[in-house]
Amino acid sequence: MNCGNKGHPQIALQFTGVLYLSSCHLLKAVEGWSDLGMGTFELRYLRDKQQREVDFVVIRDRKPWFLVEVKSGRDNLSQALKHFQDQIKAPHAFHVVLDREFVAADCFVRHEPTVVPARTLLSQLL
């Protein structure tokens, strides 16, 4: 995985761990929601011909529900996140940042792309 940190293997390793942690939580939630009969859920990713990508899209009953772009410390909102939300009309889009403190707020009340601490989003899943 190229994380854009060729000279800093610790940063690349940290980012890989953040992405792995997020994917495990999202997969557990998707499988749990499906098992509980809350709908049919899938976990996917998005990439287009211009190489824009979003780490995860959660599909609920064959419709995009929310997008997740994971970053280890960058707060600037991902342009790809907004682009894909506009394209596929997902109700929610989260730019998840590991290095932020937990915030007691419901992530799913916002419909525009939102920077959210990993602890906050992941605590609101299954």
Residue 67 lies in a domain: yes
Residue 26 lies in a domain: yes
Task: Write out pLDDT tens, residues 32-74.
Answer: 999 999 999 999 999 999 999 999 999 999 999 999 999 877 7
Residue 66 lies in a domain: yes
Q: What is the mean pLDDT of residues 62-88?
A: 92
Give the total number of structural domains in the chain: 1
Q: What domain range is 30 assigned to?
A: 9-123
Edge to edge, the sheet with strand 114-117 lists 41-47, 53-60, 63-71, 92-97, 114-117
Residue 72 lies in a domain: yes
Residue 97 lies in a domain: yes
Whole-prediction pTM value? 0.86
Residue 2 lies in a domain: no
Residue 1 lies in a domain: no
Residue 3 lies in a domain: no
